[in-house]
Amino acid sequence: MKRPLLPLSARRILRRLRRRVPPPLRIPLGFLLILGGLMGFLPVLGFWMVPLGLALVVLDLRPAARKRL
């Protein structure tokens, strides 16, 4: 049996973002999350933002779009 790439909670969040956030805003929002995650040592930001930003950017890439969450 194949193991899912993302946990169920992450898949739900990405589905919700795909439905509610317009495509022109998803890529800049993803890059902002990645940049914020790189400063995860600061108290407000966290390293959890990097994978979420990458997943958000990948939603709009054509080769990755074939593989649905």
Which pLDDT belongs to residue 69? 53
13-35 residue pLDDT tens = 888 888 998 888 988 999 998 99
60 within 8 A of 2, measured Cβ to Cβ: no
- How many Cα atoms occupy the beta-carbon half-sphere of 54 within 13 Å? 7
- How many Cα atoms occupy the beta-carbon half-sphere of 14 within 13 Å? 21
Q: Is the pLDDT of residue 65 over 70?
A: no
Q: Is the pLDDT of residue 66 over 70?
A: no
Q: Is the pLDDT of residue 55 over 80?
A: yes
